[in-house]
Homo-oligomer: A and B are copies of this chain.
């Protein structure tokens, strides 16, 4: 599957993220009309992700955000009851979306070899489609209060476990040789992360995402192949 095909398939599910957030938090949210809320959450989160990528979430002021989203301070506080709500939305809904998509795409595969390839490819494609989200996950996690670090840490461990389970399954089936699935799982995550954390490097060298996916798969398989 090429990246283009992947995007075409998945694009429609994106707005659902905001609709679910609105429905789950109706009581807190002062806006009553769902469609209006969803429309403005899309604009606000896109603006917040853009500004956070530029200067960091901390350095982004609520005034910056209103300017970027074309909204006043007063209106903004009808959608979020504070700056921290924005951070929480991105982390919580974002990680849930990633998890759902990874599960959906890997569930269809039969053998561990093919499952490993599909997981890597889907994960990489997702990180490209949601580039600003992934960058946000990483950059804006470190310096949070303990309780706000829970979601990102659990998500990190969950995806790593996804890879570990595939590797173990392959080892049981006699297809892989894996002495330490934990280290290999961490290595896969690290290689995938490099694509969006050092994006400027790969863009500058003109490396297409499909080629990078092939490279990561080959790199990992060289180590686990019997």
Q: How many residues of A contact B (CB 8 A)?
A: 34
Q: What's the Cα separation between A186 and B59 when bound, in Å?
A: 30
- Known contacts A139-B139, A142-B56, A223-B222; A194 and B201 CB within 8 A of each other: no
Determine if A35 is an interface residue (Cβ-Cβ < 8 Å): no
Look across to chain B and name the residue whose beta carbon is closest to the beta carbon of A139.
B142
Closest 3 CB pairs of A and B: A190-B194, A222-B223, A56-B143
- A46-78: CB near B (< 8 Å → 1, else 0) gives 000000001110110000000000000000000
Q: Bound complex: CA of A187 vs CA of B190, how far in Å?
A: 9
* Residues in B neighbouring A215, C-beta threshold 8 A: 180, 183, 187
A212 to chain B, nearest CB (A): 8
Check A143–B183 contact: CB distance below 8 A: no
Binding site for B on A (CB under 8 A): 54-56, 58-59, 139, 142-143, 153, 156-157, 180, 182-184, 186-187, 189-191, 193-194, 198, 200-202, 205, 207, 212, 215, 218-219, 222-223
Task: Check if A191 sits within 8 Å of B187, measured CB to CB.
Answer: yes
Tell me if A194 and B205 are in contact (CB < 8 A).
no
* Cβ distance A220 to chain B, nearest Cβ, rounded Å: 9
